[in-house]
Amino acid sequence: MTVRLGHCVVVGGTGAVGGLFAGRLRGSGAEVTIVDASAGGDITKIDAALAEELGKADLVVLAVPEPVALKALSGISHAMRPDALLVDTLSVKEPFVTAAREYDDGEMLSVNPMFAPSLGFEGRPVAAVVVREGPRGRELVRLIESWGARIVEVTEHEHDRLAGASQALTHAAVLSFGLALTELDVGIEELSAIAPPPHKTMLALLARVASGTPEVYWDVQAGNPQATPARKALAGNIHRLAEMVETGNEAAFTTVLDSLRDFLGTDLVHYQDLCAEAFKTL
């Protein structure tokens, strides 16, 4: 059965992620209502007018921080129609999805666009946890794919485990690189003048993270329990590398590079080519 998401409510619709969904839903022909704290809408204190709006919705998108989403879950679930779809966009899935599974009514899909909202959906992955399956969830997946994104279906635990490696570990490595630079006897002007492509790439990543919203990057590090083992692995392997070099163990170093090539497996050439293309730009 095909259904239409005709009336949608986007909570947090003036934010980056909420705004991305609101704009694309409107572009797909939906009527979209924005509920946002900046405009006086409090999803954790649902009044009669807001309850009526939620009750009319085919789709409610929660693009809010985790504490707000958890606090609002009960009220939203009671206000929505039993056949409607609830979607969250949280970057950590297990706590909210676990809480949401206690409610039997309504469809639910938990998504996470794995990219900065300013980049848009085209050609990018969107992680999706199907909490309660149904026709409206399938329609939203179809819409997201029509916007050019690639849906990657995972469980809530798989999502947080993979996000720990792909987001928390990456950001921790970039931030640690930047902090290390501040402790060395170097300046950005002289670095920029001499920097080879790998270093320029790291500087570009550092500039992007440093220019971002602190709360977003803090949530990636502090909100996901899987970030802790990722940071520990990063710190431990920096020490491992230092010990190899400082003890002159070149054989161990060679073995490490062999193991990294094995890890990349059949994707090795793909990422070699991708790096070469990026370096051409630099």
pLDDT digits (tens, 9 = 90+) for 4-39: 999 999 999 999 999 999 999 999 999 999 998 877
Q: What is the pLDDT of residues 64-102, one digit of tens each?
A: 999 999 999 999 999 999 999 999 999 999 999 999 999
What is the pLDDT, as a whole number, of residue 1?
62
Taken as a whole, the chain contains a residue count of 282
Q: Residue 92 in contact with residue 65, Cβ under 8 Å? A: no
What is the pLDDT, as a whole number, of residue 103?
86
- Bridge partners of 60, per DSSP, are 9, 86
What is the pLDDT, as a whole number, of residue 76?
95
Question: What is the Cβ-side half-sphere exposure of residue 211, based on CA atoms within 13 angstroms?
Answer: 7
What is the pLDDT, as a whole number, of residue 275?
97
In angstroms, the CA 231 to CA 214 distance is 18
Beta strands across the sheet bearing 125-132: 31-35, 7-11, 59-62, 85-88, 107-113, 125-132, 150-153
3-state secondary structure string, 190-238? HHHHHCCHHHHHHHHHHHHHHCCCHHHHHHHHHCCCCHHHHHHHHHHHH
> In the chain, which stretches have pLDDT less than 70?
1
What is the pLDDT, as a whole number, of residue 188?
97
Collapse the DSSP code of 86 into the 3-class scheme (helix H, G, I; strand E, B; otherwise coil) and give the result. strand
Task: Take residue 16 and report the two structure tokens written for it.
Answer: 């980056």
Q: Does CATH number 3.40.50.720 belong to domain 7-154?
A: yes
What is the pLDDT, as a whole number, of residue 3?
85
In angstroms, the CA 73 to CA 86 distance is 10
What is the pLDDT, as a whole number, of residue 105?
80
